Amino acid sequence: MQSDNPTAAILVIGDEILSGRTREGNAHHLAQVLNATGFDLREIRVVSDNQDQIVAAVRALDSSLGGTYDLLFTSGGIGPTHDDITADAVAAAHGTTVEVSPDARALLQARCDRMGVELTPNRLRMARIPVGATLIDNAVSAAPGFSIGHTHVMAGVPEVFRAMVDWLIPRLAGGRPVQSLSVEVRRGESDVAEGLTEIAAAFPDLSLGSYPFRDHDVWGTHLVVRGLDGARVAEAMGALKQRLSL
């Protein structure tokens, strides 16, 4: 698919995904948001709560550090416990250190005051932000995310992650949203492959995908046309339906 939209990657940080305990959902949510707001998501990585792995991935993915993509979004590892090392690792990748941010501290203090609890050293850990970063606010938790370079660091708890995405994405400069049309056929992929190849060749500016599925032992295929120009997408879908006699 031809696109001059900003490119993006997502880095998910968390042993709980790699152990199979948790099925990842934050990247799926953000993928939908990014496609709808004009960002071209090219890669997702999941790494463990390991400093070296996180530093290497941030450097490989963030273009401000010589990495591949215009934007990098991370999920997970910014809580108050010993295994929450994302802030330190992202700071290291960006060649800076972590300090308690007065702004983040104020957010946490206000929340603690409202709840009538003490801002303990463990709670204060969540105000540790890389020097030079700006905060990502959210409506659910007082603990903020942060942006540094082209890296945007968000929480792993799904409700907090989504609240941070809601806050952050409108503040970034996206391109054109992806338009897509799909049709379901009760044929196997092999029986639509030839027509699909022809139409894909005739519309090189678009992406034509075929996604096989099984329903009660019968094979079917979802055909999806994607692109930035809605009229072209509609034209290609029309041509595809005609070619496959749908």
Residues that bind a copy of itself (CB under 8 A): 15-25, 27-29, 31-35, 41-49, 53, 79-83, 120, 122-123, 125-126, 140, 157, 159, 178, 180, 189-194, 196-197, 200, 207-214, 224, 226
Residue among 1 and 234 whose Cβ is closer to a copy of itself: 1
Smallest Cα–Cα separation from 227: which of 218, 236, 219?
236
Q: How far is the CB of 162 from a copy of itself (least distance, A)?
A: 12
Cβ 189 to a copy of itself shortest distance, Å: 5
Contacts 24+ apart (CB under 8 A), 187-190: 187/219, 187/220, 187/221, 188/212, 188/219, 188/220, 188/221, 189/219, 189/221
Q: Which CB sits closer to a copy of itself, 148 or 195?
A: 195
H helix or E strand, kind and range, residue 167: helix 158-168
Q: What region, left, alpha or beta, does residue 73 occupy, with left being phi > 0 and alpha being psi -120 to 50 degrees? A: beta
Pick the closer one to a copy of itself by CB: 24 or 70: 24
Instruction: Determine which helix (DSSP H) or strand (DSSP E) holds 153, and give its type and residue range.
Output: strand 151-154
CB of 169 to a copy of itself, least distance (A): 13
**Token pair for 107:** 């957010």
Least spacing, CB of residue 156 vs a copy of itself, in Å: 8
Q: Are strands 151-154 and 71-75 parallel, antiparallel or unpaired?
A: parallel
> Which one, 117 or 131, has the nearer CB to a copy of itself?
117
Identity of the residue, 43 or 166, whose beta carbon is nearer to a copy of itself in the bound complex? 43
At closest approach, how far in Å is the CB of 110 from a copy of itself? 15
CA distance 77 to 48: 10
